[in-house]
Amino acid sequence: MIFGIPKELPPFKDKPEYRVGLSPMGVHELLSHGAKVYIESKAGEGAGFSDEDYEKAGGIIVYTKEEAYRRADVVLKVRRPQQEEYSYIKEGQTIMGFMHLVTARKEFIQVVAEKKITLVGYEIIQREDGRLPVVIPMSEMAGKLSVQIAGRLLESPGGGRGILLSGIPGIPPAEVIILGAGTLGCNAAKAFAGIGANVYVMDISRDKLDDLACHTSDLKVTTMFATKHNIKKLVKFADVLICAVLVPGKRSPILVTKEMVKTMRNGSVIIDFSIDQGGCSETSKLSPSGDFIYKVDNVIHFCMPNATTLVARTATHTITSSIFPYLQIMIESGLTTALKENHDLNQGIYAENGEIRKDYLS
């Protein structure tokens, strides 16, 4: 089986994508199982992996994006192909990555149909118990990353409230509100509470809140049901609002209205990690200019769809370790058989030979 790893293009102008579809370690492991891997030159540069690293792993460096696509049976991406890549995709090819088709361009859907592409979305690969094996470690990383992002945005030079997340003796810490008690929300809660912030987590699932309470029993974390009343009440005093709501493959529900945002403190921060699926704040948006940090009613918004690219090396290792077991199955069983018979991969198919498989996209 032949894999291609093109250099990722930025989703927005002048906003680089530093992650890469597979690390050199992953390339080495694929070769040890009998695969061949072509890597576009400098594909791993942003994550700190040189062409020499890939060559030492046994990969073959090619010097055009087109060749990385054309030589491959399976293209390993981080994000779905950008418009200028459409012409490189060959008929009948399989492309894997975080596809988020619910927010994709119509032109891309047309390319998928016309070229009879099979698309596997990492974000919807799902085990029989409902767990998302690729999303979970990425969400864990995003949750921990949220503290770094929030701390910087709250600083005075950028128009933030100028407060320290942890506070100090005699000065209270920041108030952090987290919508969603899944993996991302749980890790964000532990990270913020771990440095001393006051943390409130809301969700509609009693089981998730119970699980979160067990994991944070030694920390200062308050759990509440995510009713409209509770969200409206807590948003008013939030210094940081983390949106961590995920409905696999589907658009995120709008939980924070424009009116709620207007009640927030000047210089407070909204970090919407749901933006890949449309965002769960009514004021969250994907900006064509790539300005993912902006203000609405003097509230700072962080709506970066590829936030883990800020820690690209860790992110690439995480993607590699999460997806490699499935790549091994594909090599050993054959692509068609693996996609048909492996439950997790089968759940991850957005489109098969150009035909959309998910009802919610039709």
Q: What is the mean pLDDT of residues 45-54?
A: 97
Total count of domains within the chain: 2
pLDDT digits (tens, 9 = 90+) for 262-306: 999 999 999 999 998 889 999 999 776 668 899 999 999 999 988
pLDDT at position 247 is 81
Residue in 51, 100, 239, 301 annotated catalytic: 100
pLDDT at position 10 is 85
Range of the domain at 293: 135-309
Three-class SS state of 269: strand
Q: Are residues 117 and 7 in the same domain?
A: yes
pLDDT at position 11 is 75
- The Cα–Cα gap between 220 and 213 comes to 10
Q: If you average pLDDT over every residue of the chain, what do you get?
A: 94
274 domain-assigned: yes
Tell me whether residue 100 is one of the annotated catalytic residues: yes
Q: Are residues 264 and 207 in the same domain?
A: yes
242: left (phi over 0), alpha (psi -120 to 50) or beta: beta
Q: How confident is the model at residue 14 (pLDDT cuts 50, 70, 90)?
A: low
pLDDT at position 288 is 62
Decide which of 292, 309, 326 is a domain's last residue: 309
pLDDT at position 300 is 97
Contact 12, 285 (CB under 8 A): no
Handedness of CA 67, 73, 79, 81 (dihedral sign): positive
Q: How confident is the model at residue 46 (pLDDT cuts 50, 70, 90)?
A: very high
pLDDT digits (tens, 9 = 90+) for 94-144: 999 999 888 888 899 999 999 999 999 999 999 999 999 999 999 999 999
pLDDT at position 290 is 66
Q: Are residues 289 and 349 in the same domain?
A: no
Instruction: Give the amino acid at 229.
Output: H
333 domain-assigned: yes
Q: Are residues 161 and 201 in the same domain?
A: yes
pLDDT digits (tens, 9 = 90+) for 178-211: 999 999 999 999 999 999 999 999 999 999 999 9
CATH number of the domain enclosing 328: 3.40.50.720
pTM greater than 0.85 (yes/no): yes
Beta partners for residue 281, in sequence order: 256
pLDDT digits (tens, 9 = 90+) for 223-240: 999 999 999 999 999 999
Residue in 51, 272, 276, 344 annotated catalytic: 276
